[in-house]
Structure 1
Amino acid sequence: MTEAPTLEALSQRMIAEIDALPRRLADGARYLIDHPDDVVLLSMREIATRAGIAPATLVRLARTLGFADWSELRAVYANSFRTGPARYADKAVAAVQQDKGAGLLSETFRAQEASLAFALESNALEDITAAARTLAHAERIYVAAFMSCRGPGLTFTYLCKMLRPNVEFLGSEGSSLVADLSMLTERDAVLSINFQPYAREIDMVADAVAKSGASLISLADSRATPLQPHASTCLLFSAESPSFFPSVISAVGVVEGLAAAMLTELQDTAMERIGHIEEQLYTSGSYHAHRRAR
């Protein structure tokens, strides 16, 4: 290469080209995008292990991006490296590996704590605020959350309906994803929640957002998802877990934070709606009357 790119330019290029890369190269690029400090702090072999690929794949990725070898690509990261707080997810993994005597339940709770801290560290206040503003003032909100992401998606839907009307969960019972997506307009907003491996429906959401001009908030385990090119705001959560399945605890934390930020944005309108709904819950008998505080 005649002139080394900046780290930001390199990351943006990988994000733009990631869909066209072979799957293993895309896995490597995605890891580099989301863990730039690791390129400086860890060996190529360790990075490959964490990314779930072979070390040779990182060499191929470097050459695909126009570098002579891995060390030349690594130099871009070294030049831009800034000392910062260690990744919380890495801390959790290290702690679990050192404490072999702890039970899986204890390890899981520790990883969940680290995942929540990772979400707090990774999402700037201005990004949360921007996402909340978009969602608060859209004509309609559609929540796109499939498979194991359905849990945090339903949590957000429930909370958001307490704050404002016209909130729908895409592809819910009694409807279809195709029909729901066909109703999107440029006045609407979509909150999409995803982690790898991504559900096939993510491509349908991306196409519908692109065609309709709807605003998109992407909450995912990576900044390099198929939705990223269409998103006005990208928020991160960690799905790392010592258990057999990825964790969505930090995704739940982020959506609860989004709901709190939306309350701040909507203020009196939302508070009046919450009060009305709460009154209806008591009146309908959904809450025990003796629990009511006056």
Structure 2
Amino acid sequence: MASNYDSLSARLRQAADYVAAHPLDTATRSLRAVADHSGLPPATFTRMSKALGYENFQELRDGLRQRLARRESSFAARATALQGDTDASDLVARNRAACIENIDALAADLDNARVEEIADRLHKARRVVVLGSLGSTGIAEYTAYMGNFLGAGWTQAGRMGTSVGASLADLGEKDALIVFTKPPFAATSVRAAEFACERDVFVLVVTDTHTCPALRHASARVIVPTDSPNFFSSYVATMFLVETLMATVAKRAGPTATRRIADVEAANLTLGEVRPL
């Protein structure tokens, strides 16, 4: 749904929005009941299902049931299910399979042209601010760390308790903001996306669901699969996205980035932050 949403008509988007907002009702109620509750004709849901690549609404509903079966409503509930799992000895294989499936699904959705377009906007930006709160803090820090090798304009908002507002206050149409946010969505991240959008900043939102409230403020979006047997959402596919995107930015940066990286490495050696190879 996330990858095909932009190609849907306004009417079919209404049906998709309903499914995204009411997954349990959609998975457990009949087509007529779903249509009555949503106020849309049954045929709209049928057309929406086919537009998303399903044979019919029943096939979409079956897929939704399978997804809901894999995903508990809270981290605590998922941890409880994991502790009671009698097949825990196979957890390594199951987690490996989930990570590979997540990466494959993301790679199938991400075409080179889309990655190049996002990388071009980031490369041309005067400043790039990266924001991630709660579970997304680590991936935001990693992204900003790599970006800072390419140019001094890459920074992480809210790092070590610093003000997010101070990081965003001077952004404008020549700048970019990357927001990582996944359920439960950090309110600060959603508000930051809205704040930047109102100032014509290029906003890239990386999340794992079409229902993410920050998406309405996004200039570009990437929906990253996060299925996992763990109690927490997987960040493996998100890491794959970040490393692919940053490699593309570095490729566009050319000799300037190479000199910058060499200068950073030399400074690290001079300061004793790293040991010589």
| Range of TM-score over shorter length | 0.7 to 0.9
Percent of aligned positions that are identical: 20
Question: What residue is the counterpart of 1:81 in the other structure?
Answer: 53
Question: What residue is the counterpart of 1:21 in the other structure?
Answer: none
Question: What residue is the counterpart of 1:45 in the other structure?
Answer: none
- In structure 1, what residue type is equivalent to 2:226? A
Q: Does 1:8 align with 2:17?
A: no
How many residue pairs get matched?
Answer: 246
Compare 257-266 and 193-202 and name the one that shifted more.
Answer: 193-202
Specify which of 154, 163, 172 is matched with residue 185 of structure 1. 172
Question: What residue is the counterpart of 2:29 in the other structure?
Answer: 56
Query: What is the CA deviation profile of residues 122-141 of structure 1, one whole-angstrom value per residue up to 9, with x for unaligned ones?
Result: 21211111111111111111
| Displacement after TM superposition at 1:288 (Å) | 2.2
Q: Distance in 1 between matches of 2:157 and 2:246?
A: 18
Question: What residue is the counterpart of 2:190 in the other structure?
Answer: 203
Q: Distance in 2 between matches of 1:273 and 1:136?
A: 14
Question: What residue is the counterpart of 2:206 in the other structure?
Answer: 219
Structure 1 residues 225 and 14, CA, compared in 2 at 3 Å: closer, same or farther? Answer: farther
| Displacement after TM superposition at 1:154 (Å) | 1.0
- In structure 2, what residue type is equivalent to 1:130? E
Question: What residue is the counterpart of 2:20 in the other structure?
Answer: 29
Question: What residue is the counterpart of 1:172 in the other structure?
Answer: 159
Structure 1 residues 221 and 79, CA, compared in 2 at 3 Å: closer, same or farther? Answer: closer
Specify which of 202, 217, 223 is matched with residue 236 of structure 1. 223
Contact map agreement 2:206 2:224 (CA 8 A) in 1: yes
Structure 1 residues 10 and 273, CA, compared in 2 at 3 Å: closer, same or farther? Answer: same
| Displacement after TM superposition at 1:64 (Å) | 5.7
| Displacement after TM superposition at 1:61 (Å) | 5.2
Structure 1 residues 65 and 169, CA, compared in 2 at 3 Å: closer, same or farther? Answer: same
Alignment of 1:1-294 (within 5 A): 8-10=8-10, 13-14=13-14, 25=18, 28-29=19-20, 48=23, 55-56=28-29, 62-63=35-36, 66-69=39-42, 72-78=44-50, 81=53, 100=87, 102-289=89-276, 291=277
Structure 1 residues 142 and 61, CA, compared in 2 at 3 Å: closer, same or farther? Answer: farther
Structure 1 residues 82 and 73, CA, compared in 2 at 3 Å: closer, same or farther? Answer: closer
Query: What is the CA deviation profile of residues 40-68 of structure 1, one whole-angstrom value per residue up to 9, with x for unaligned ones?
Result: xxxxxxxx5xx587623976653465433
Query: What is the CA deviation profile of residues 105-151 of structure 1, one whole-angstrom value per residue up to 9, with x for unaligned ones?
Result: 33222211222222211212111111111111111111111111111
* RMSD over aligned Cα atoms: 3.2
Q: Distance in 2 between matches of 1:274 and 1:59?
A: 60
| Displacement after TM superposition at 1:279 (Å) | 1.8
TM-score (norm 1): 0.72
| Displacement after TM superposition at 1:249 (Å) | 1.1
Structure 1 residues 30 and 134, CA, compared in 2 at 3 Å: closer, same or farther? Answer: farther
- In structure 2, what residue type is equivalent to 1:262? V
Structure 1 residues 29 and 11, CA, compared in 2 at 3 Å: closer, same or farther? Answer: farther
Q: Distance in 2 between matches of 1:13 and 1:58?
A: 17
Return 5+ residue gaps in structure 1 as ranges. Answer: 1-5, 19-24, 32-47, 94-98
Structure 1 residues 61 and 153, CA, compared in 2 at 3 Å: closer, same or farther? Answer: farther
Give the match's secondary structure for 2:29.
helix
Give the match's secondary structure for 2:206.
strand
Q: Distance in 1 between matches of 2:201 and 2:251?
A: 23
TM-score (norm 2): 0.76
Q: Distance in 2 between matches of 1:240 and 1:258?
A: 21
Q: Distance in 2 between matches of 1:266 and 1:243?
A: 38
Query: What is the CA deviation profile of residues 49-91 of structure 1, one whole-angstrom value per residue up to 9, with x for unaligned ones?
Result: xx5876239766534654333x6512442366379xxx9x97x
Return 5+ residue gaps in structure 2 as ranges. Answer: 1-5, 56-62, 71-85
| Displacement after TM superposition at 1:168 (Å) | 1.6
